[in-house]
Structures are given as structure tokens and as C-alpha cells.
A and B are shown apart, each in its own frame.
Chain A
Amino acid sequence: MARGRWFALAVALQIVFLLGMAGRHQYTVVTGTPMLLKTAPVDPRDPFRGDYVRLSFAAQQVPFPGTPTGKFNHGDQLWVTFQAPAAGSKYWYPVAASSERPTVAADQVAVQARLLWFDTGSLRVEYGFEQFFVPEGQGRDLERDFQRLDVAVAVDRFGRAALRQVLFDDKPIEWK
């Protein structure tokens, strides 16, 4: 009988893990500050999750004056401060990067990111929402009309970002 209990516990652990994994990301989507970003996609495929659109953002290029060598290494986690949209725009944009969590103003949000590489006067980072999984075979259309795409993300109070929706002409995409 002990074997049965251990097995039930192992199966329960699997379910709790999956619920926790889904819940952690759902928390970010539901409670996070919504942000809109401009994107340009390409269209590869994952062996376990199917087709996805790889998203590229202008917001991945973060201004960073001076020489960052020694402060950051490839793959390091860092914080990017986003500024709320300027007048006449709807897009949030990055204004600074730091290794510690920054104190931000009311119209700013700090987001966790990972360093990819340095450029002159800027850092190239990834946020973890650079891919959008789509029904099989429907990624190419998005790629063709990428200029009409925007990405809605949410950032929770821990600075974790999650992709909420990809918008086509400001509306959620309707699959065919």
C-alpha cells in the first residue's frame, strides 16, 4: 500500500507542478501592468510546441551610455526601465538598464531581461516574450503583414513579463 501512496504522491506532484507553472504565468498576465510594443516577426517551428512567430522588438535595444564591459556578461539577468508612451504614441519604450532593480517613477515599469550582447551606446536584451505560438501553418501570414502587428505584454510586481496578445490592426488575431 505504501507503494500506492508514493505513486499517488508522484502523480499529484506532476499535476501540482503543471498547475503551478500555468498559475505563475497566468498571475503575470492577469495582474501585470499592460504594455504595448512594436514588433517584426519571423516564422520557425518548435518540435514540442509547433509553429511560432519569433518576435523582434525595437525595445530589445536599450540605451546604455559608456562601456558596459565588466558590469555585465552574456546571459546575465538585468533590469530594463520602460517609460510610458510619449504624447502621440501608443508604445512603451526602454530608457535605461541596470544590474539591480531600479526605483521607477509612476509612469515607468521595471522589467527583468537577459543580456544578449553589447552595441555602441546600447545593450541588446531579451525579455522572454520574443515568441508567439500559433496554430499550425498560420505564422507566414503574420510574417507577411508584420507592419500591422503590435504585441501586448503584462509586467507583474516582480518585474516578470508575459506576452498577453499579438494584435493585428489593434485587434486580437482571429485564426482562420
Chain B
Amino acid sequence: MPDDQTGKAWLSRPQWEWLQAEVAAWQSEGVVSPEQAGAIVGRYVPVIPSGGRTTSVFSILGSILVGLGAILFIAHNWWQIPNEVKLATLFMFIVAVHGLGYWLWHGRGDSPRVGHALVFLGCLLFGGGIWLVAQIFHLRANWANGLLFWALGSLPVAWALASRPTLALSGLLLLAWSMFEQGTLNQTSWYYPLLLAALVLPAAYRWRAPESVWLSLAGAGFWLFTTCIQWLEPTRDVGPLLTFLALGLYGTVLVAAGLWHRLQPGLRSLSVPYLLGGTVLALIGAYAQTFRLDFGRVGAPPSWEIWAVLAILAATTAALAAVTARLSGGDWSATPAWVLPAAVCVFATWLFAGLLPFDGWRAVVTNLLLFLSTVGLVAWGFRQQVPAAVNLGLLTFVVQVITRYFDWFFSLLDRSIFFMIGGVLLLIGGFVLERWRRELVRGGGVTHHG
């Protein structure tokens, strides 16, 4: 990554030392002239550890501790202090901490990180103020709106000062509020996704804040999950499977969106939450479809809303897939990682739509697709050097193998055949890969690293 001021590229301290030693050797061997050596070394600058991030992290952690301590102090409900004094003291602290934070950050400006942390602390104290008022007036227990008000009161501060920690705090509070609302009231609230789309995600993109993107994607997934559970309650046994199906399709949409983000130079830093979170959800959704179940208690058919959600998710996946493939010049190397979980989900959708019968074949095909999917994910991870993809693929493989080994819904002979076919496929794949690699090395003179 080039330095904005000098135009030179940053190198870590070990890289910098390696380059200097190498260039000195080249020069002494006559490979490069002293001028060329100077020009090569002059293209880079070593990263100077500034301690800035450490200061930020410690300051924010300190603010979290002080803020939580203040909220616990409020919860203690010290009766010797009159309510009016409690309120006035807290108001004073909120204004003073915000004011001092702003002064250190932008006024005097010589301690911006500590100042930023104090502004964050001011928002935590604002939350303490909400709970103090709610305590004084004995407002309803399990009062979820307190979390909403806390988030809505912190968001203007986050926007005014471009504060990523405050944005993350707001995202976390909105997520907690949504979990409370959806979980306890058992009814669908559209406010949460609207608030995310209007107030949190635009800021997260503007400031390239992956932590807030993580929170938003996780929150949206939870919201989709609980909403589907509510909508699918009348369908009885089929409900959980369809819920996981929606979650799996949501995951594939995220992965497709993550691949698209990777291709955009300005958005590359935000691709990880989509790719990692999406892959995990896609695999969970696909895994849930691999069980052989007896649907003896199917209730009412799924409502039109659930079909609409599944259709929108499937169409979005397809659209993003096409765009991604087009943008990457027809490079389909990434596809096994997410197309196969998507295939599992789409296949399951057909089944639920009544196009295919509910019998053992459903489980056989979904297991095969998930197996190919994990193999594809591991292969893609090795090829693209993404350890997380390799680990996720291997973990899913292990989970699937253990599940099927102890699966009582297939006979021992069936399972024996599945395992042997899978093993032979992998051995053949390994043989083909090894031969292909040997030809590459022999034909192109490529140096290999093991």
C-alpha cells in the first residue's frame, strides 16, 4: 500500500531488513549498480510502529470499563443520594466528558485518541442516563426501547465526529434491541433493517468500518432467522428446515456480495465480513438440509411471504453471481465456495415447492452437494491462499462426516457406500491434482514450494 504523502510503498520491519540485505548482496555480486540499488531501496519505506492503535485500543477499553462501571453504580440504586442529585451529576458528567473529549480530539488536538475514547465514554454515560431515568420512574421491566433510544442518541455523535467505535456501539445496541423485540414480543418489526440501512450501513461504508458491517450483517441474519421462525410457525416440522434454508440463501447472497466487494478497489477492506460470515451461514443452511427426516407433522403450507423471501434471496444470488463473474473476466475459480451451498439451498427449495418427492433421495443429493461444496471451498482456499476458507471447509467436512457416521436414518450399508464413494472421489481428485501439478512444474519450469 503506497504512503499517501511520499508515494512510496510501506514494508514491515522484517521485509525492509530482508530487502536491504538482498539488494546489498545483488550489488556486491554485480547484479545491480549502486545507483540501481539505491533506486530499488528508495521505492519503499519501513513502517514505523507509532503505538497509535495501541493507544486507541487501550483508551476505548478503558472507556468501556468506566462506562459499564457507571451503569453498575446506577443499578446499585444508592438511596442516600436524592434522585435530582443523581440526574444533575450524570448530566454534568455527560457534558463534561463529551466536552473534554472534543477538546482533546479536535480543540487542542494533541491527544486525539484519548479524546475520541472520551467521546465514546460520553455516549456510554448517555445510556446510563436513560437507565437512571427508567429506574427513578420505575419504567416497565424488560424495557427494550431503552436500548433503541440509547442507539438513536449515540448515532448523531457518531455521524458528527465520524466515530467508528460509537457507530459500532450503536450497531450493537440496535442488534440487542432487535433481539429483544423479535425474541420476546414474537412479532416482526421492520424498523431494525430500516434503521440499519438508513443510519448504520451508510456510515460504515463511508468510513470503511468492517466492525459495523460485521454487526449489521449478523443482525440482519438474526432478524431474518427470527422473522422466518415467526412466519413459518404454522408449517410445523417443515418450518425449521425452511428457516435454515432462508439463512443459507442469505449466506450465499453475502458471499456473492463479498466477491463483488473484493473486485472493487475501494471496498476490498469490507469484503471479509461478507465472505467469512456468508460462507459460515451458507454452510450452516446447507448442512441443515442434509438430514433425512420424516415429515409426518407437516402443518399449513408456507405463506407467500416466505416464498417471496426465498425468491428474492435466490434472484439476488444469481444476479450478484453474474455481475461478479463478468467483472472478474469470467474467472469462476471462486464459484465452488458458494455456488454449491447455493445449489443445496435451491435444490431444497424445489423439494419444498413440491417439485420433487420427500424421500431418501433428498438427503442423498443434499449430502453430495455439501460434500462437493466443502471440497471446492478447501481447493479454492488453497489456490487463493485464504486459510479461513480451508479451515471452514475442513471443519464442515469433519462435521458432516461425524454426523453421517452416527446418522441413524440411513442403514449401515448405505453409509458404508457413501463413505467409500466419497473417499474414492477424493483419492482420484488428489491423483489428478498431483499429476496436473507435476506437468506444470515439468512444462513451465515453475519452482514449487512443497
Task: Judge if B112 is at the interface, Cβ distance under 8 Å.
Answer: no
Contacts of A14 in B (CB 8 A): 94, 122-123, 126, 129, 153, 157
Asked whether B77 lies within 8 Å of A51 as measured between CB atoms, the reply is: yes
> From residue 1 to 23 of chain A, which have CB atoms closer than 8 A to chain B?
3-4, 6-7, 9-11, 13-15, 17-19, 21-22
Asked whether A130 lies within 8 Å of B141 as measured between CB atoms, the reply is: yes
Of the candidates B74, B119, B149, B161, the one whose C-beta lies within 8 Å of that of A17 is B149
Selected interface stretch from B132-140, B247-255, B308-316, B423-431 = B132-140
Contacts of A65 in B (CB 8 A): none
Task: Judge if A134 is at the interface, Cβ distance under 8 Å.
Answer: yes
Task: Judge if B380 is at the interface, Cβ distance under 8 Å.
Answer: no
Contacts of B71 in A (CB 8 A): 48
Task: Judge if B244 is at the interface, Cβ distance under 8 Å.
Answer: no
Task: Judge if A68 is at the interface, Cβ distance under 8 Å.
Answer: no
Most chain B beta-carbon contacts within 10 A, residue among A10, A44, A46, A129: A10
Task: Please report the C-alpha to C-alpha distance between residue A51 and residue B149 in the assembled complex, in whole angstroms.
Answer: 22
Question: Interface SS of chain A: helix, strand, loop or mixed?
Answer: mixed
Q: Mark B130-171, 1 if CB is under 8 A from A, else 0.
A: 110111111111000010010001001101110000000000
Chain A interface size band reads 35 or more
Chain B interface size band reads 35 or more
Give, as a whole number of angstroms, the nearest-CB distance from A97 to chain B.
Answer: 19
Give, as a whole number of angstroms, the nearest-CB distance from B206 to chain A.
Answer: 14
Q: Mark B83-102, 1 if CB is under 8 A from A, else 0.
A: 00001000100110011001
Task: Judge if A66 is at the interface, Cβ distance under 8 Å.
Answer: no
Asked whether B135 lies within 8 Å of A3 as measured between CB atoms, the reply is: no
> From residue 301 to 351 of chain B, which have CB atoms closer than 8 A to chain A?
none
Of the candidates B129, B141, B146, B185, the one whose C-beta lies within 8 Å of that of A52 is B141
Give, as a whole number of angstroms, the nearest-CB distance from B106 to chain A.
Answer: 7
Task: Please report the C-alpha to C-alpha distance between residue A47 and residue B140 in the assembled complex, in whole angstroms.
Answer: 13
Contacts of A175 in B (CB 8 A): 79
Asked whether B141 lies within 8 Å of A22 as measured between CB atoms, the reply is: no
Task: Please report the C-alpha to C-alpha distance between residue A126 and residue B140 in the assembled complex, in whole angstroms.
Answer: 10
Task: Judge if B401 is at the interface, Cβ distance under 8 Å.
Answer: no
Task: Judge if A25 is at the interface, Cβ distance under 8 Å.
Answer: yes
Asked whether B87 lies within 8 Å of A22 as measured between CB atoms, the reply is: yes
Contacts of B138 in A (CB 8 A): 52, 129, 131-133, 162-163
Task: Judge if A142 is at the interface, Cβ distance under 8 Å.
Answer: no
Known: A48-B71, A75-B185. A21 touches B141 (CB 8 A): no
Task: Judge if A121 is at the interface, Cβ distance under 8 Å.
Answer: no
Task: Please report the C-alpha to C-alpha distance between residue A126 and residue B138 in the assembled complex, in whole angstroms.
Answer: 14
Nearest-neighbor residue (CB-CB) of A26 within chain B: B137
Nearest-neighbor residue (CB-CB) of A131 within chain B: B141
Task: Please report the C-alpha to C-alpha distance between residue A18 and residue B133 in the assembled complex, in whole angstroms.
Answer: 7
Contacts of B99 in A (CB 8 A): 11
Task: Judge if A71 is at the interface, Cβ distance under 8 Å.
Answer: no
Give, as a whole number of angstroms, the nearest-CB distance from A19 to chain B.
Answer: 8
Contacts of A49 in B (CB 8 A): 74-75, 77, 131, 134-135
Of the candidates A13, A29, A44, A48, the one whose C-beta lies within 8 Å of that of B137 is A29
Task: Judge if B406 is at the interface, Cβ distance under 8 Å.
Answer: no
Contacts of A15 in B (CB 8 A): 91, 94-95
Give, as a whole number of angstroms, the nearest-CB distance from A84 to chain B.
Answer: 23
Task: Judge if A102 is at the interface, Cβ distance under 8 Å.
Answer: no
Asked whether A162 lies within 8 Å of B161 as measured between CB atoms, the reply is: no
Contacts of A46 in B (CB 8 A): 75, 141
Asked whether A7 lies within 8 Å of B102 as measured between CB atoms, the reply is: yes
Task: Please report the C-alpha to C-alpha distance between residue A23 and residue B94 in the assembled complex, in whole angstroms.
Answer: 18
Give, as a whole number of angstroms, the nearest-CB distance from B403 to chain A.
Answer: 37
Give, as a whole number of angstroms, the nearest-CB distance from B89 to chain A.
Answer: 12
Asked whether A18 lies within 8 Å of B141 as measured between CB atoms, the reply is: no
Of the candidates A6, A21, A135, the one whose C-beta lies within 8 Å of that of B76 is A135
Give, as a whole number of angstroms, the nearest-CB distance from B109 to chain A.
Answer: 12
Of the candidates A10, A21, A48, A134, the one whose C-beta lies within 8 Å of that of B160 is A10
Most chain A beta-carbon contacts within 10 A, residue among B74, B77, B98, B136: B77
Nearest-neighbor residue (CB-CB) of A48 within chain B: B131
Task: Judge if B187 is at the interface, Cβ distance under 8 Å.
Answer: yes
Of the candidates A10, A18, A133, A163, the one whose C-beta lies within 8 Å of that of B77 is A133
Task: Please report the C-alpha to C-alpha distance between residue A133 and residue B122 in the assembled complex, in whole angstroms.
Answer: 25
Task: Judge if B78 is at the interface, Cβ distance under 8 Å.
Answer: yes
Of the candidates A7, A48, A162, the one whose C-beta lies within 8 Å of that of B75 is A48
Assuming A6-B160, A21-B130, what are 8 further A-B pairs, CB within 8 angstroms? A7-B157, A9-B160, A11-B95, A13-B156, A15-B94, A17-B149, A46-B75, A50-B74
Closest 3 CB pairs of A and B: A50-B75, A10-B156, A25-B137
Cross-chain pairs A/B with CB under 8 angstroms, 10 sampled? A7-B157, A10-B159, A11-B94, A22-B137, A46-B141, A49-B75, A128-B140, A129-B138, A131-B138, A135-B76
Interface residues of chain A, those whose CB is within 8 Å of chain B, are 3-4, 6-7, 9-11, 13-15, 17-19, 21-22, 25-26, 29, 44, 46-52, 54, 75, 126, 128-136, 162-163, 175
Interface residues of chain B, those whose CB is within 8 Å of chain A, are 71, 74-79, 87, 91, 94-95, 98-99, 102, 106, 119, 122-123, 126-127, 129-131, 133-141, 146, 149, 153, 156-157, 159-161, 185, 187
